[in-house]
Structure 1
């Protein structure tokens, strides 16, 4: 039986340095040996040894030469593409999106599968397997190479127990031990997130939340929800149910807007948006088509004003409880409404409350849930790749 090297021995230091080098290449992309030595704080000979070991292990490859201002050209190196493969998946009531992700940051096509709102004819494993295979086919990747998936769904997810709750949109999906069961069914690591919470991850990483200490991401689409980011940590709650604001009773003032609304879900999300649009003569069978029709309508601003009045009522309790630096409007309606909707919501809040919040439209240009799942998955793939360099 092999013995494990002690810290400080040459073999242990070599593996530690290789992990550091790979982490830098994953972070910066393409580096020369000299630049790798500068960033790692190690000598040029040590940097050359790290590159040689990583290249021999099949983890990195030469990607081109860089001409220096003085002296000969230098070979640059990058992490091999398609080395650590996963699939990010966004499961919504009318569409499932999926995309291949690799640790090196490769660019792969997003695949969309539109379907009826009820998915009772498919169990979760079948649905996710289909999403994985569609993404891999478009990316030219063998599905057998997939190491993991991160999935965003319209449900609260208890990370400690795997319980799925607060959902009416997931027929055929397990309600207990969801990560464990799906990982066993698919044969690789599967992690399920609430869609709004994982969209907040994208907003922090690549959206307008990058420079904020705290923000609330208010999601309006077929469903309704809010996610709270506090200094880069998304608040999950004891059971994963933090942010399920759609289940709050509608406030008294909501009766002036919609006397039938019993809760905020009734007041603000899919059916409510469709009702507003119908009053302007705008309709469509699918929700995404409805939003496109609203966006193209000459009455767009009038509809956004009415939507903003409702959204403001949903944001008011968020301001009273957390008082975040900003509220970011996301979800299909937030994306469609953009800065116009953000201004209308801010005005409605200031007209009817004592709050004067910063309301911003999302800065994520990709489908937000898929983008957040990709961020989480890339980090997991990166950590796994680095950890695979074992210290003998």
Structure 2
């Protein structure tokens, strides 16, 4: 956006138009009278703001509101077909994706197989964009941004990835640049557990926590660390990769990597899942198995011991498919073990962001990016 001198009529118009757009995004469809009330502007000024936003293709009439007397009033709403994004979750055995618009409208979540498919950052994300657009009836040309959740340590500043066990075809350097140059979109790459942690802070059980750690228990393990509303990523994006930490499973037992102690292979075996079962469906039985829940809780307590000792979080959130299968009872058992330790202890809660927490975190980032892009399209003259 070009520079405008503060206090000039052009500056005031742009400022008012940005505020009007924010009100449309926050409140939905508005009449000129309601926009005037919310913005503190007169009806004529509200009419002018709407006219400018309509000329910029940012709002359009969406209906009429009947008044107590006189004719119905036209209501306007944000055009959510101007800019879209796609949230992507790269799983070990597939890809999840969903279209995202400025209003955060619910769209279908699609799942794509990866077995037997040639992999690369641009091909994986390109397939996800095409499928998400097809499922929602959106034009591919409207997609300007993607946020991709990865089971990897992500250093966004240097565009490098490490610990990429589940990402065949993705190079250690340059993945974001390849996506952007090949697909013509702005790309944000982020660790999947960090995205789930953002979702937990935004609308989960951690909204009021000063600090918290989210232990993700899935095919592998990860820790998301939120310190006062900011994600702690570490110097190279590797903070929270607790699945690679070696600890003792029980006193007297040899050391083991935490993924071996709590990963999907162990939990599937504990649940007695048949060899043909797939994770996470195969671990649903643990919810009714008190002995299994206690075994898992004991291993969780061992796994998070270093986190508690180093970070001393106010809250520990259990997330991921295994945690959701174990339910509130699993969180209760972990809390009992942690409480027995001779030190100040955090509360332990089950995640409430559901089984699409990674996509939810990615969607939240994209909504903010899309809204910022819409604001940038407001004329400055």
TM range (shorter): over 0.9
| 1:283-305 per-position Cα deviation (integer Å, ceiling 9, x unaligned) | 5442223123545xxx5332222
Residue 14 of structure 2 corresponds to 15
Q: Report the TM-score when normalising by structure 1.
A: 0.90
Query: What residue number does 2:376 align with?
Result: 387
Q: Does 1:242 align with 2:234?
A: no
When residues 353 and 81 of structure 1 are mapped into structure 2, their CA distance, relative to the original with a 3 A threshold, is same
Q: Does 1:221 align with 2:218?
A: yes
Partner of 2:174: 177
**Structure 1's 70 and 230: CA in aligned 2 closer, same or farther, altered over 3 A?**
farther
**Is the CA contact 1:183–1:189 (under 8 Å) kept in the aligned structure 2?**
yes
Distance 2:40 2:313 in 1: 39
SS of 2:340's partner is helix
* C-alpha distance in 2 between matches for 1:177 and 1:77: 43
- Contact 1:349 / 1:355 at 8 angstroms: preserved in 2? no
SS at match of 1:250: strand
Q: Distance in 2 between matches of 1:14 and 1:342?
A: 53
Contact 1:247 1:265 in 2 (8 A): yes
Give yes or no for contact 1:16–1:391 (8 Å, CA) kept in 2. Answer: no
Equivalent of 1:287 in 266, 279, 287: 279
Count of residue pairs brought into register by the alignment: 380
SS at match of 2:216: strand
Distance 1:212 1:73, change over 3 A: farther
Q: Which residue of 2 aligns with 1:48?
A: 47
Q: Is the 8 A contact 2:320 2:355 kept in 1?
A: no
Provide the aligned C-alpha RMSD in A.
Answer: 2.2
How big is the shift at 1:72?
5.7
Give the alignment of 1:16-31 within 5 angstroms: 16-31=15-30
* Separation (CA, whole Å) in 1 of partners of 2:44 and 2:135: 42
Please say if residues 120 and 172 of structure 1, whose CA atoms lie closer than 8 Å, have aligned partners that are also in contact. Answer: no
- Distance, in Å, in 1 between the alignment partners of 2:286 and 2:222 is 22
C-alpha contact (below 8 Å) 1:82/1:104 kept by paired residues: no
Matched, 1:142 2:131: no
Q: Is the 8 A contact 1:87 1:150 kept in 2?
A: yes
- Distance between the aligned counterparts of 1:148 and 1:138, measured in 2? 17
TM-score by length of 2: 0.92
Query: 2 CA distance for matches of 1:22 and 1:148?
Result: 20
Shift, 1:30, TM fit? 2.3
> How big is the shift at 1:237?
1.2
- Distance verdict in 2 for CA 1:26–1:311, change over 3 Å: same
Aligned twin of 2:258? 264
* 2:333 matches 1:344: yes
Tell me, in whole angstroms, the C-alpha distance in 1 between the residues paired with 2:211 and 2:379: 37
Q: Give, in whole Å, the separation in 2 of the partners of 1:271 and 1:101.
A: 33
In structure 2, how many angstroms separate the alpha carbons of the residues matched to 1:223 and 1:317? 17
1:261–1:293 Cα change, 3 Å: farther
Deviation per residue, 1:25-63 (Å, 9 max, x gap): 112222222332233233332112101111222211222
CA contact (8 A) 1:34 1:47 kept: yes
Matched residue SS, 1:386: helix
For 1:53 and 1:76, how far apart are their aligned partners in 2? 15
Deviation at 1:256, TM superposition (A): 4.7
* Candidates 309, 315, 331, aligned match of 2:320: 331
Unpaired runs of at least 5, structure 2: none
Q: Write the deviation string for residues 170-198 of structure 1: whole angstroms up to 9, x where unpaired.
A: 11002113222221122211111000001
Q: Deviation string for 1:89-116 (max 9, x for gaps)?
A: 0011023110000112222111012444
CA distance in 2, matches of 1:350, 1:110: 39
Q: Alpha carbons of 1:71 and 1:185: their partners in 2 closer, same or farther (altered >3 Å)?
A: same
Matches within 5 A, 1:1-392: 5-68=4-67, 73-116=72-115, 121-251=118-248, 254-256=249-251, 259=253, 261-278=255-272, 283-295=275-287, 299-352=288-341, 354-392=343-381
- The 2-side partners of 1:35 and 1:229 are apart by 38
Contact 2:53/2:378 (CA < 8 Å) preserved in 1? no
